[in-house]
Amino acid sequence: MAKAKNKSTPAYDRVRAARGGKRPTGLDYVKGVFSDFFELHGDRAFSDDAAVAGGIAWLYDKPVTVIALEKGHSTKERSKRNFGSPHPEGYRKALRLMKQAEKFHRPVVCFVDTAGAYPGVGAEERGQGAAIAENLLALSGLRTPVLSIFIGEGGSGGALALSVADEVWMLENAVYSVISPEGCASILWKDASKAPEAAAFLRLQAQDALEMGVCDRILPEKGLGSRAFYRDLSRLIYDKLTELSALDAEALVGARYARFRQFGTGA
Amino acid sequence: MAFVAKNKPNDVPRQVKKPAAATETERVCPRCKSKLDVGKLWENRNVCSCGYHFKLKARDRVALTVDVDSFEPLWEDITSVDVLEFPGYENKLELSRYVAGEADAVVCGRAKISGRPCILFAMDPFFMMGSMGAAVGEKITRAFELATEEGLPVVGFTVSGGARMQEGLISLMQMAKTSAAVQRHSAAGLLYLTVLTNPTTGGVTASFAMLGDVIFAEPGATVGFAGARVIEQTVGKKLPQGFQTAEFLLAHGFADAIVPRDEQRWAIGNMLKLHAVSA
């Protein structure tokens, strides 16, 4: 009987796929798409958050700043990376690398895959809200191209903190939501097991995000994780960064402002 | 796609319960448990003699803060629309409009404080717990854009449960939209002062609430990103005493000062004056 109530929905199937443990994670993309990734650690203030991996890599002839939310594969690695849920120092490391990219006129590519910013005691003590807010503000004015690619879960503010970007792309099975379907169901119906129903209402699939203008391109998952898949993605990213780099900083930042300004405007 | 609409003034709520507050003459302080006469409580700006700060409607905030007759409200008819046809949202909007007496969860306008002009916003805890949907995001964004255009400081009172989940991704995007508007205002060298009030949480904490050049907090206010219950469930431990309060914020370096309600008007006015002198 209980099973019938919790029947899945196409939207929730997508959530399950996005969370699937066998999907490539952030660093798989970094290694597959770019070459000679050199990782740069730490936020220069508190510590080095392993849920966020960042550094500089080559994309053909272009140096690119790459930032990836990393969930890890093995149980041990997943635990070390806090299952991809950053603390404030993770967002501050990302911010440091973005500012560094701006200074040296490098484009920024982010790979987003997180259930959300970590809800913990230390995270609150060190200003999780402030850290995310500062990233939103800094990204909106960053004078270098930013491209964000959602490869799995896009959990609310914790994902947005790396995606106030010139373009947002989503894998076919990636999701992007203001709240987890479980959280939404507990608030609405005091019953987290109704998450499949909540997922349908939240319109969190890539296609929904595309229709709302939140996402600019859906990437098909044919051959996901194969060499050909990464090679095609490399080309797509290269062409987009070339196009964005041709704009002067003023026009770039102006277009980014307009991109986010359009959501929920007055009649 | 339009996500916000002008409010139709003749909207009559379909199903509304009479708000309990309307018949109340006495309230109990949740901290010291003393019974308080509503009229006397109001004379003390809704602060109990023990120091507990009761919630305030946005309009009451404005009235307690601005110079007499200086407030000119802006964009009063902007209200959110149930674009996702989310369960129960339409009804909740109607009920909130009735209970709060506002079109949505924030009031914006031009004001003077201690004779200094500013753009003011005050969120309303009685409108869906001050949650941020498209209408709130739009009004806050317009407030910063107008202030940037006219070279004015922004003063904002925050109170919010966070992003309004009933509007899905569009409510999440308001975090980016408002923060981008704060960025432009800041880049123009203009002052932004926030007063964090009880409670300020979630997507509002993680966007414009924490972006003030100067951040005040009301005594005892709950301010944080994640909900206490979620954190407790995640870490599986009882949370420390005073966790996520204004005092906790001050101790960890995320607020400039704790300012009690009866000192706010002076403190804000003072800050505006300190930033009105050009070097």
pLDDT tens readout for residues A209-262:
999 999 999 999 999 999 999 999 999 999 999 999 999 999 999 999 999 999
Q: Is residue B244 part of a domain?
A: yes
Which pLDDT score, from 0 to 100, does residue B239 have?
93
Same domain, B155 and B257: yes
Measure the CA–CA gap between B142 and B140, rounded to whole angstroms: 5
φ/ψ of residue A195, rounded to 5: -55, -40
Three-class SS of residue B127? coil
User: Could you give the angle at the alpha carbon of A106 between the alpha carbons of A102 and A109, nearest 5°?
Assistant: 100
Nearest C-alpha of chain B: how many angstroms from A183?
9
Which pLDDT score, from 0 to 100, does residue B162 have?
96
Task: Say whether pLDDT at B56 is over 90.
Answer: yes
Q: Is residue B4 part of a domain?
A: no
Task: Say whether pLDDT at B9 is over 50.
Answer: no
Task: Say whether pLDDT at A1 is over 80.
Answer: no
B50 vs B7, residue with greater confidence: B50
Q: Closest Cα to residue A241, out of A149, A175, A153? A: A149
Same domain, B61 and B98: yes
The residue with tokens 């700006």 is B45
Which pLDDT score, from 0 to 100, does residue B99 have?
94
Q: Is residue B14 part of a domain?
A: no
Query: Cβ distance B106 to B124 under 8 Å?
Result: yes
Measure the CA–CA gap between A216 and A235, rounded to whole angstroms: 17
Same domain, B204 and B257: yes
Task: Check CB contact of B148 with chain A, cutoff 8 Å.
Answer: no
Of B170, B183, B231, nearest to A121 by CB-CB distance is B231
Sign of CA dihedral B167, B172, B176, B182: positive
Task: Say whether pLDDT at B63 is over 50.
Answer: yes
Query: Cβ distance B276 to B116 under 8 Å?
Result: yes
Which pLDDT score, from 0 to 100, does residue B76 have?
95
Which pLDDT score, from 0 to 100, does residue B25 have?
87
Using pLDDT thresholds of 50, 70 and 90, give the confidence band for residue B10.
very low
Conformation bin of residue B162: beta by default, left when phi > 0, alpha when psi is -120 to 50: left
Count of other CB atoms within 10 angstroms of residue B63: 13
Q: Which helix (H) or strand (E) holds B257?
A: strand B257-258
Q: Is residue B200 part of a domain?
A: yes
Using a CB-CB cut-off of 8 Å, the residues of chain A touching B215 are none
Q: Is residue B11 part of a domain?
A: no
Q: Is residue B192 part of a domain?
A: yes
Using a CB-CB cut-off of 8 Å, the residues of chain A touching B194 are none
Same domain, B114 and B240: yes
Task: Say whether pLDDT at B157 is over 80.
Answer: yes
Residues in chain A: 267
Using a CB-CB cut-off of 8 Å, the residues of chain A touching B242 are none
User: Hey, are the CB atoms on B252 and A184 less than 8 Å from each other?
Assistant: no
Quote the crossing angle between the two packed helices A195-202 and A181-189, to the nearest 10°. Answer: 110
Using pLDDT thresholds of 50, 70 and 90, give the confidence band for residue A50.
very high
Measure the CA–CA gap between A251 and A248, rounded to whole angstroms: 6
Residues in chain B: 279
Kindly calculate the radius of gyration of chain B based on its CA atoms and give it in whole angstroms: 18
Q: Is residue B279 part of a domain?
A: no
Same domain, B130 and B49: no
Query: Cβ distance A180 to B234 under 8 Å?
Result: no
Same domain, B173 and B120: yes
Query: Cβ distance B203 to B163 under 8 Å?
Result: yes
User: Hey, are the CB atoms on B163 and A140 less than 8 Å from each other?
Assistant: no
> Domain range spanning residue B49?
24-54
Which pLDDT score, from 0 to 100, does residue B23 have?
56
Of B4, B165, B179, nearest to A266 by CB-CB distance is B4
Q: Closest Cα to residue A199, out of A16, A71, A1? A: A16
**CATH T-level assignment (fold) for domain A23-178+204-255:** 2-enoyl-CoA Hydratase; Chain A, domain 1 (3.90.226)
φ/ψ of residue A99, rounded to 5: -65, -35
Which pLDDT score, from 0 to 100, does residue B279 have?
52
Task: Say whether pLDDT at B251 is over 90.
Answer: yes
Question: Residue B208's domain is classified under what CATH number?
Answer: 3.90.226.10
Q: Is residue B64 part of a domain?
A: yes
Which pLDDT score, from 0 to 100, does residue A265 have?
83
The residue with tokens 């070339």 is A242
pLDDT tens readout for residues A181-209:
999 999 989 999 999 999 999 999 999 99
Q: Considering its fold, how many domains does chain B have in total?
A: 2
Using pLDDT thresholds of 50, 70 and 90, give the confidence band for residue B22.
very low
Q: One-letter amino acid identity for B233?
A: Q
Same domain, B42 and B62: no
Nearest C-alpha of chain A: how many angstroms from B174?
7
Task: Check CB contact of B5 with chain A, cutoff 8 Å.
Answer: yes
Query: Cβ distance B206 to B175 under 8 Å?
Result: yes
Burial string for B165-176 (b: 16+ CB within 10 Å, else e) reads bbbbbbbbbbbb
**Which positions 190-229 of B are in contact with A (Cβ < 8 Å)?**
202-203, 205-211, 223-227
User: Could you give the angle at the alpha carbon of A55 between the alpha carbons of B253 and A242, nearest 5°?
Assistant: 115
Q: Closest Cα to residue B144, out of B72, B189, B192? A: B192
Q: Name the average pLDDT for chain B.
A: 92
Same domain, B146 and B35: no
Same domain, B73 and B49: no
Task: Check CB contact of B104 with chain A, cutoff 8 Å.
Answer: no
pLDDT tens readout for residues A128-164:
999 999 999 999 999 999 999 999 999 999 999 999 9
Same domain, B40 and B158: no
User: Hey, are the CB atoms on B203 and A156 less than 8 Å from each other?
Assistant: yes
Tell me the domain boundaries of chain A: 23-178+204-255
Whether residue A63 has a cis bond before it, omega within 30° of 0: no
Task: Say whether pLDDT at B11 is over 90.
Answer: no
Task: Check CB contact of B175 with chain A, cutoff 8 Å.
Answer: yes
Using pLDDT thresholds of 50, 70 and 90, give the confidence band for residue A7.
confident
Residues of chain A by 3-state class (helix, strand, coil), percent to 5: 50, 20, 35
Task: Say whether pLDDT at A4 is over 80.
Answer: no
- Final residue in a domain of this structure, among B13, B38, B54: B54
The nearest alpha carbon in chain A to B207 belongs to A133
